[in-house]
Amino acid sequence: MERLLERLFVAAAWLSALFTLAVVAIFIGFLLFRGFGTLGASLFFGNVPIMEAVTGRLPVWHGIWPAVAGTFFLVVLSAAMAVPLGLASGIYLAEYANGRWKSALSFAVDLLAGTPSIIMGLFGFALILFLRKTILPEANVCLLMAGLCLALLVLPYMVRTTQVALEGLPESTRIVGPSIGFTRWQNIQHVLLPASTKALLSGVILSVGRAAEDTAVILLTGVVANAGLPASLTDKFEALPFTIYYLAAEYRTPEELDRGFGSALFLLLLTASLFVAARVLQRAFERDRR
């Protein structure tokens, strides 16, 4: 009877795995079928010459280049705020905090991780209204506010990844620094962090991917259709997730809908490229450590 149950469990596990792979394959195949034919310079720049579009000398109305550029600026801005703070917070929780203080901080991180993205967008919008009524009457939705809210959204992923990576190191690795006279910080800097590079890079890529694909936060904090390239951090902007949503909901011609599928395919390829780059960096760091 036990062997029968074991075989049934293994069969169910295999079926679940195959079902998941089939769904992913169908999803990717559908995107390739609808969007692959649109990939090309016209998808990004429309009928505008490439150099004029990239430099912003001519606006792009029928391409996704402004959305690609806006997504890039948004991801870089949110990562610049979230990654250093997340690393520092994770190191503190893993190596310095203890007792009730550690429990309280861990609860706060878990609470932030469970906050829906739409709530984070509402927080950013409410913050703008507060600033308008108090110290900054000209405050408005913009790239900076969207980046700040996205940084808060992905911050707990970075904190938890860093904490788990450091706490999961074996004791034999943790005692290397003290055995040769390193201080606690020197041990963290020269031994523990390099040993955790693989997990930390995974956390960074996960955070970047999460920031690149979110729509709810930016919908309330600065993204608009046909905004063009942002000239400063206080400008409105375009982004790929919102462009896909907008084209799918408001398309007027089949060509616009196909452009939405092409945008979705490009965003998927971009995310996959980030994970491939992370894997290459992980192997390079592992070779350097050896």
Residue with tokens 């409105």: 236
All structural domains of the chain: 41-289 (1.10.3720.10)
- With b meaning 16 or more CB within 10 Å and e meaning fewer, what string describes 48-73? beeeebbeeeebbeebbbbbbbbbeb
Residue 41's alpha-carbon distances to 70, 162, 176, 227, 284, in angstroms, are 18, 40, 53, 20, 33
CB-CB contact of 201 with 277 (8 Å): no
pLDDT tens series, the chain, 290 aa: 667 777 888 888 899 989 999 998 998 888 888 888 888 888 888 888 888 878 778 888 888 888 888 888 998 899 899 989 999 999 999 888 888 888 888 899 888 888 888 888 899 889 888 888 888 888 888 888 899 999 999 899 899 989 888 888 888 878 887 888 888 888 888 888 888 887 888 788 878 888 888 888 888 888 888 878 888 888 888 888 888 888 888 888 888 888 888 888 888 888 888 777 777 777 776 666 66
